[in-house]
Amino acid sequence: MKKLLTSVLLGLTILSSTTCKHPGKEAETVITSTPENTDHISKNIYVDSYGEKIEVTINSTKNTATIHLDGKTYDLKKSDALPEYTASNEEYQYSEIKGNITFLKKNVDMVLFHLKKDKKESGPAKMASY
C-alpha cells in the first residue's frame, strides 16, 4: 500500500508540474507617440526695394526668432525690454516696429536689411455734398 501511495503521489506531482506551467512571456509591444508640436510659429518672407529677401520665422511659444538672409541663418531670442517685437543675440538684432522691419549687426551699427511696409490706402476719400 505504501508503494502504491508513493507512486500515486509521484504521478500526481509530475502531472501537476507539467499542467500548471505558466504561459511564456508574450512580447511586449511598446507604442511611443510623438507629442504634437503645440508651438505657435509664424513665418514671413519680406523683399526690400533692392530685391533682397529675408525669411523670418517667429516661435511665440519659445520666444525665439530664426532669420534666413543671404544663405545664412541667425537664431535670436525675444527681447522683452525693447518695444514691440524685437529679438537679438550678442551680434545681431531684428525688430518689427510699426511696419518697419530692420535686421542689423549691433557691434558696428550696420543695417543688413530694412523694409518699411506701405500701409494699404483705402482709395479716394468721399465727401458728402449738401
Q: Phi, psi (5° rounding) for residue 22?
A: -75, 150
Residue 128 three-state SS: coil
Q: Is the pLDDT of residue 125 over 70?
A: no
Q: Is the pLDDT of residue 121 over 50?
A: no
pLDDT at res. 77: 92
Distance between CA 84 and CA 72 in Å, rounded? 25
What's the whole-number average pLDDT of the chain?
A: 78
Q: pTM higher than 0.75, yes or no?
A: no
Q: What angle do CA 130, 120, 104 make, to 5 degrees?
A: 145
Which conformational region is residue 34 in: left (phi greater than 0), alpha (psi within -120 to 50 degrees), or beta?
A: beta
- No. of helices (H) and no. of strands (E), the chain: 1, 8
Lowest-confidence range among 26-30, 115-119, 122-126? 122-126
Q: What is the pLDDT of residues 6-60, one digit of tens each?
A: 777 777 677 666 655 555 556 566 666 666 667 788 898 888 888 889 999 988 8
How buried is residue 67: exposed, middle or buried, by Cβ count under 10 Å (0-12/13-18/19+)? Answer: buried
Q: Is the pLDDT of residue 117 over 80?
A: no
Residue the block writes with cell 529675408: 54
Residue 72 in grid coordinates: 545664412
